[in-house]
Structure 1
Amino acid sequence: MPVNFDEYKAHSDESEALPFDPNSNAFAVLSFLAEHPELGFKPAEIHEHVDVAKGSLNPTLSRLEERGLVEHEPPYWSAAADDRLAAITGTMHSMEAFEDHHGDDDFSGWHASDVDPRDHR
């Protein structure tokens, strides 16, 4: 899907941005490390647990370190103590709980009776 390149580039340059794309290498690596915040892993150990090519792992870890999301004490990598990680972890757990509770609900036809709140200001 094409994107507005200037907006994309400006967004990708933001050091505060978190890797929210669940299909990205950064998301896979950060999710794994965040599940084990008290542990440090060598890249080969991380590779055993995430679906990221070995050649992409070190560049991904380096980008996450630049954003302050992981810490590196050679040869180990760990999730950084960062409030942004705690917030995203809480959000992800909430989304999983919602899916577990409402995953089988049938929302077909809801749009026939939906209401746009902007019409009722």
Structure 2
Amino acid sequence: MPISIDEFEATDDEPTNAERIVRFLLGNRDKAYRATEIADATEVDENSIHPVLNRLRERDLVRHREPYWAIGDPDVVRDAYAFASNASFLDDELGAESREEWVSSDDG
């Protein structure tokens, strides 16, 4: 039996790989690490670590100087955290957005 995309995308309170990496690097902002060290420390699969780090780098949340990675611009990290916190708060207060509601409102 199929489920709605909202159910499919619903997550428990587990942090994402990106959140784990940013939290780890932020907590260790005085150091830079190899990707494998970050994977070990955050329990992010080694096959996933580079794609996640590259996406974070594109958003200036981490910096890279071969072969090391470090936390990115503190202002960017703070702004990203504030946005995520606000979005989470609004989801809790107002309910998560439903794709079906958006699609049905487009029909009119």
| TM bracket, shorter-chain basis | 0.5 to 0.7
Where does the alignment leave 5 or more consecutive residues of structure 1 unmatched?
Answer: 4-20, 93-121
CA distance in 1, matches of 2:29, 2:48: 22
Partner of 2:5: 2
CA distance in 1, matches of 2:59, 2:73: 12
Partner of 1:55: 47
Matching of residues 6-85 of structure 1 within 5 Å: 22-85=14-77
Paired residue secondary structure (1:38): coil
TM-score normalised by structure 1 residue count: 0.53
Residues 1:56 and 1:36: Cα distance change in structure 2 (over 3 Å): same
CA distance in 2, matches of 1:55, 1:63: 14
TM-score normalised by structure 2 residue count: 0.59
Residue 32 of structure 1, CA deviation: 0.5
Aligned length: 74
CA distance in 1, matches of 2:15, 2:59: 19
CA distance in 2, matches of 1:86, 1:36: 15
**Higher helix share goes to which structure?**
2
8 Å CA contact 1:22, 1:28 repeated in 2 = no
8 Å CA contact 2:60, 2:76 repeated in 1 = no
**Higher-Rg member (1/2):** 1
Amino acid at match of 1:26: A
CA distance in 1, matches of 2:78, 2:63: 15
Residue 47 of structure 1, CA deviation: 1.4
Paired residue secondary structure (1:23): coil
